[in-house]
Amino acid sequence: MTRFSIVLLVALVLSGLYLVKTSYESRRLFVELERAKAEEAQLTADAKRLDAERRTEATHLKVERTARDKLAMRLASPEVTVYVSDSRASGASR
């Protein structure tokens, strides 16, 4: 009986220690997961912000102003445009 109790006691202590270890581990992993999630949110937000910034820098108004003022470009008018009809489209319908 006593021996059995000792075995149980040892088992109890071991399982207790194991519980401490796993709960520590789970908290550590949880914190890591949280950090990763926060990072993900931050990166998503950054991507959005940068996307918006990129669009702001590349609006048609801005591009045209830069092309005209800085690069001295002109809009292509139909008289200097050569239109090539796409024979693939007409070929497919044939």
- The binding site for another protein (CB under 8 A) comprises 27, 30-31, 34, 45-46, 48-49, 51-52, 55-56, 59-61, 64, 75-88, 91-92, 94
Q: How far is the CB of 4 from another protein (least distance, A)?
A: 29
Q: How far is the CB of 37 from another protein (least distance, A)?
A: 9
The smaller minimum CB distance to another protein, of residues 60 and 70, is found at 60
d(CA 78, CA 64): 18
Q: What's the one-letter identity of residue 85?
A: S
DSSP, res 74:
-
d(CA 12, CA 6): 10
The smaller minimum CB distance to another protein, of residues 15 and 26, is found at 26
Is the distance from CB of 74 to CB of 68 less than 8 angstroms? yes
Q: How far is the CB of 21 from another protein (least distance, A)?
A: 16
Q: How far is the CB of 29 from another protein (least distance, A)?
A: 11
Structure tokens at 35: 């950090």
